[in-house]
Structure 1
């Protein structure tokens, strides 16, 4: 069953395009992009999620990430 987001595809695509433009501007390697993305996730969890919920949300995030890449592997 697909996950339904409360955010429009257009909003998500617009933000992703803007972020990608910043990475392109700085000629960021894939490794740097992943490091920055990980730092963003860590900061969001630490600054916006109650300490007793962080691990569970991080695990759900990791599972969603794995699902998104596994669906592209044939």
Structure 2
């Protein structure tokens, strides 16, 4: 069953496109892009999620990311 987001798909696509455009413009290699995105994710989680919920949220995020990468969905 596909995940239903509470956010507008067009807004998600726009934000994603903007971030990818910046990485492309800067000619960021894959390993650096992953480090930067990882830092952003860490900051978002640490700044916005209560400590007691972080572990479960990150596990679910990693599971969803893995499923997306393995299945080839963006």
Could you say whether these structures have the same fold, taking a TM-score greater than 0.5 normalized by the shorter chain as the test?
yes
After superposition, give the CA deviation of every residue in 1:27-55 in whole Å (9 maximum; x if it has no partner): 10111111111111111111000001100
Where relative contact order (Cα < 8 A, 6+ residues apart) is larger, the structure is 1
Aligned to 1:51: 51
- Output the aligned Cα RMSD: 1.0
Q: What residue in structure 2 maps to residue 21 of structure 1?
A: 21
Cα shift readout 1:8-67 (whole Å, capped 9, x = no counterpart): 221111111111121122110111111111111111111000001100100000010111
| Structure 1: runs of 5 or more not aligned | none
User: 1:30 and 2:4 equivalent?
Assistant: no
Structure 1 runs (4+) deviating above 6 angstroms are: none
Gaps in structure 2 of 5+ consecutive residues: none
Task: Give the paired residue count.
Answer: 72
TM-score by length of 2: 0.89
- Residue aligned with 1:45, SS: helix
CA distance in 2, matches of 1:2, 1:16: 19
TM normalised by structure 1 equals 0.89
